[in-house]
Amino acid sequence: MDQQAVTGIVRRYWDGLWNQRDLGVIDELIAEPYVRHSSAGTRSLTRAEFTREVRNSWQLLHAPATTVDDQVTSQDRVWTRATTTGVNLETGETSVITWLVVHRVADGRIAESWSATLPGVDWRS
């Protein structure tokens, strides 16, 4: 798979899932199993488990918007720096989260990711 196609898959993930809130993107783009590396550890998830996690995260912010700020592709991996802003439903204050994520694409689907989320950090400027 060429780098342009790999980048397109990851861009569709960010736009479809995190901006349009389209859970169908999970069935379209996420491999099964999907291996996720984060501060919570390394986990192998089914699409259904990943869908539940995404739904739960959507309940934390009102009117979230995510921008892809930087993106670099090398072979089957895409490095993304993204920013999510929204209103924290517990405090009513505007929240910002910076994401540093590497996605690995295999057979046209996102098979693995390494994620660091930085609440309260805004690297857009």
Q: What is the pLDDT of residues 68-99, one digit of tens each?
A: 999 999 999 999 999 999 999 889 999 999 99
Q: What is the pLDDT of residues 1-48, one digit of tens each?
A: 899 999 999 999 999 999 999 999 999 999 999 999 999 999 999 999
Q: Give the range of the structural domain holding residue 19, as residue numbers without chain letter.
A: 3-119
Q: Is residue 54 part of a domain?
A: yes
Q: What is the pTM of this model?
A: 0.92
Q: Is residue 7 part of a domain?
A: yes
Q: Is residue 125 part of a domain?
A: no
Instruction: Name residues whose C-beta falls within 8 Å of residue 86's C-beta, 6 or more positions apart in sequence.
Output: 61, 62, 63, 64, 65, 94, 95
Q: Is residue 72 part of a domain?
A: yes
How many independent structural domains does the chain possess? 1
- Length of the chain equals 125
How far is 109 from 124, CA to CA, in rounded Å? Answer: 28
Contact 117, 123 (CB under 8 A): no
User: For residue 43, what is the domain's CATH number?
Assistant: 3.10.450.50
